[in-house]
Amino acid sequence: MQKRILGKSSLEVSSIGLGCMGMSYGYGPSSDKKEMISLIRSAVERGVTFFDTAEVYGLYTNEELVGEALRPFQDQIVIATKFGFNIQAGKQAGMNSRPEHIKRVVEGSLKRLKVEAIDLYYQHRVDPAVPIEETAGAVKELIQEGKVKHWGLSEAGVQTIRRAHAVQPLTAVQSEYSIWWRRPEEELLPVLEELGIGFVPFSPLGKGYLTGSFNANKTFVQSDLRSILPRFTPEALEANQALVDLIKKIAEQKGATLAQIALAWLLAQKPWIVPIPGTRKLNRLGENLGAAAIEFTPEELREINSALLKITLTGDRYPEELEKRTGL
């Protein structure tokens, strides 16, 4: 597996990471723990060194899973986790990035992950009630104490990124980015390049849509977050089929799968971009990692982008209430 460095930091990771959220949360019932431990360890064996989790994924259970699975490989891998929410009575209960809260919850994450220091600690969502300078200052103290090595922001706006970076340099910003959701290209990517911050796209396969594995007839159970997303209504899925058809055409030309094309396209955008596709299946893991071997010529990328401009996409990525938590 090829390696990449996140921005101008010293943090080197595999060019494709593994998002672990879906193993415990977000896409229906959680998977068997032993099977997921085996999958995570198979990823390590195949060269993956970058693993993403958060305290609110399954409310602690995903961190526990990742910590147990990766304990034998701590000197080989990088674990990213996140803070920023209250958890009360077994439920997520609003945002909280106050310094005293961060310094308390980091201890729980360290224990669950079975590590002495968190490699990459993201603010999960920007808390409008707490100046970002205070949050950055708290993480800076954790770095000085040796409890955190690098830090980042998730779904943050460019002004917040600039303010945070001025207090404690950011190693990475995480946000959704894919051939289906290209809004980061407008403001975010230029600012990250200017500041030397790495970019970690989540949902690089469009929450499964870009794999071509389902169509407008697909239904989602209530515990599947896609059941509430505007882009996953039958009407939107049908309207956006033109994008899947384009990716399929490219895949046939390259002798690859749709997922591999979607990931390879992301890797081709910037050398400091590291996508973190999630999966619960060993065959999908192997498929995703195969994307690292696919390369596009400048002419091929121009042709793809030209074709994308002719496609009008339908559906917001989040309901209004969830969208309010992003880009602050």
- Give catalytic residues, as residue numbers: 57
Burial class (CB in 10 A: 0-12, 13-18, 19+), 86: middle
77 and 45 in contact (C-beta within 8 Å)? no
Measuring CA to CA, which residue among 2, 7, 5, 4 is closest to residue 197?
A: 7
Spatial CB neighbours of 180, under 8 Å, sequence gap ≥ 6: 206, 209, 210, 231, 240, 243, 313
Phi-psi category of 114—alpha, beta or left, where left has phi over 0 and alpha has psi -120 to 50? left
Name which of 128, 118, 74 is nearest 97 in CA terms: 128
Chain length of the chain = 328
Kindly state the tokens that stand for 103: 């310094």
Task: Name the 3-class secondary structure at 211.
Answer: helix
Partnered with residue 18 across adjacent β-strands are 51
Tokens 């404690």 sit on residue = 168
Helix ranges, the chain (H)? 33-45, 61-70, 99-113, 132-144, 158-167, 188-195, 234-239, 241-254, 258-269, 282-289, 298-309, 320-323
Cα(272)–Cα(60) distance, integer angstroms: 29
